[in-house]
Amino acid sequence: MARKILTEHINTPGIETFEVYRQKGGYTAVEKAIKTMTPEEVVEEAKKSGVRGRGGAGFPMGMKWGFLAKPEGVPRYLVCNADESEPGTFKDHHLMKCIPHLLIEGMIISSFALGANKSFIYVRGELMYVIRILEKAIEEAKAQGFLGKNILGSGYDLELIVQPGGGAYICGEETALLESLEGKRGNPRNKPPFPAVKGLYQSPTVVNNVESISNMPWIINNGGDAYATIGIGRSTGTKLISASGHINKPGVYEIELGVSVEEFLNSDEYCGGVRTGHHLKALVAGGSSVPILPANLITKTANGEDRLMSYESLSDGGFATGTMLGSGGFIVFDETACIVRNTWNFSRFYHHESCGQCSPCREGTGWMEKVLHRIEHGHGSMHDIDLLVDISKKIEGNTICPLGDAAAWPVASAIRHFRDEFVWHITHPHEASQPGAVYQGEMALA
């Protein structure tokens, strides 16, 4: 069994309660950090661990903490991004629901490190039942002296607030999240200034993902150096992978970064293989926004090396033959899946979720959805394929936030690797538009 940092006790009955979490060694890291370490020492451990942002961007968390401005007399904020909404991603949902105290312990340690006295967990509003679980856990921690005034007699005060969103994918973008937390529409801000200088209420702010912060208790108990020995290269530690689609065992799995894609997909410890009686056609490894790969590029890179579950290996070959680890949303497609239909579905998602601020994204996502809809429904023309590529290029890199890129990549990659399937939809409109119709020709080999 692989080493577990986040999920070791996740199946322990009662782990959602303070009592059981504490019995399993919970909150010892808070005691260690607050009683024996300075905030700077905690930041140093985060830096040494090499832990990277688990929401999708993969930016080193310790380095992000290092950018936080510390002007005298100005409050600083830590905001946890629990707006998990990227299609294919449901790990934070699982973690917060099952073991809420892990995030709370991580929030206390991280807030102490950053000198924040009021911290927020921004949870997507649909997860109201999880918000209630977190609020209950916060009450318990408070009653035990781990939150509130003068924590463990240290003189350090921390108030933890759970904020519900209102249903908007865009609020997973950190500056949109801050706007939303201020009670506004979730329109991403122009950067600079970055949140580390001007974030929530124009004060220095750090925004970190649930999973990133949840690593902190282990890092404090065992040391950043120990964390950095797990994983491979610059992909240190473990990662939660949300596995969905055509596999035998969908669910959330904690892997040591560096396990091979082959093992993750086929081993009984994880996905248990493509669903019985079917075979792999395509895979989205890191949430709907990362490039889709055909079967032949999933377990091996274009150079014939084993593809690993790590930031570097998944992106090997760039977008020509690689993809990204992203948020770890691992979506598996077998031969019954229609790539055109799925691409249209994802496009509809991004069109629906575009905040409308930047024209290339607001208009472009709608055009892509429309063009894909007509190809899927038997009304496409050959020109439409190039038109889609053209639109995607005009969105990519031309928007305030990365939603534009996220909308462009799935379309561009589907055409790159599965062009035959688009062509077939256009040349065989009647067959292709039948419910459940799937291109049966030779699988597109990149």
Partner 1 sequence: MTESPNLVAFTPERQEKVKEIIARYPEGRQKSALLPVLHVAQEQWGWLSSEVMDHVAALLSIEPVEVYEVATFYTMYHLDPVGKHVIEYCRTGPCCLMGGEDVYGYLKQKLGIEAGQTTTDGLFTLKEVECLAACGWGPVFQIREKYHMNLTNQKVDEIIEELSK
Contacting positions for partner 1 (CB under 8 A): 75, 84-90, 92-93, 118, 124-129, 132, 159, 161, 163-169, 180-186, 201, 242-246, 250-252, 288, 329, 331, 333, 337, 341-342, 345-346, 348-349, 352-353, 355
Per-residue tokens: 375: 């190809």
| Nearest distance, CB of residue 181 and partner 1, angstroms | 6
Q: How many residues does the chain have?
A: 446
| Nearest distance, CB of residue 84 and partner 1, angstroms | 5
Q: Could you tell me which of 193, 121, 214, 116 has the C-alpha nearest to residue 157?
A: 116
**For residues 309 and 41, is the Cβ–Cβ distance under 8 A?**
no
Per-residue tokens: 40: 């700077």
Residue placing its CB nearer to partner 1 in the complex, 307 or 351: 351
| Nearest distance, CB of residue 89 and partner 1, angstroms | 6
| Nearest distance, CB of residue 345 and partner 1, angstroms | 5
Residue placing its CB nearer to partner 1 in the complex, 164 or 360: 164
Residue placing its CB nearer to partner 1 in the complex, 46 or 240: 240
Residue placing its CB nearer to partner 1 in the complex, 86 or 211: 86
How distant is the alpha carbon of residue 28 from its chain centre? 28
Distance from the first to the final alpha carbon of the chain: 35
| Nearest distance, CB of residue 94 and partner 1, angstroms | 8
**For residues 368 and 351, is the Cβ–Cβ distance under 8 A?**
yes
Burial of 115 (0-12, 13-18, 19+ CB in 10 A): middle
d(CA 96, CA 124): 12
| Nearest distance, CB of residue 443 and partner 1, angstroms | 17
d(CA 280, CA 226): 37
Residue placing its CB nearer to partner 1 in the complex, 109 or 127: 127
| Nearest distance, CB of residue 60 and partner 1, angstroms | 25
Q: Which helix (H) or strand (E) holds 210?
A: helix 210-214
Residue placing its CB nearer to partner 1 in the complex, 273 or 329: 329
d(CA 173, CA 36): 35
Per-residue tokens: 324: 């990204």
Residue placing its CB nearer to partner 1 in the complex, 187 or 399: 187
Residue placing its CB nearer to partner 1 in the complex, 64 or 198: 198
CA angle 257, 314, 207 (to 5 degrees): 65
Residue 247 DSSP label? B
| Nearest distance, CB of residue 284 and partner 1, angstroms | 8
d(CA 47, CA 376): 48
Residue placing its CB nearer to partner 1 in the complex, 257 or 292: 292
Half-sphere exposure of 192 (CA within 13 A, CB side): 5
| Nearest distance, CB of residue 418 and partner 1, angstroms | 15
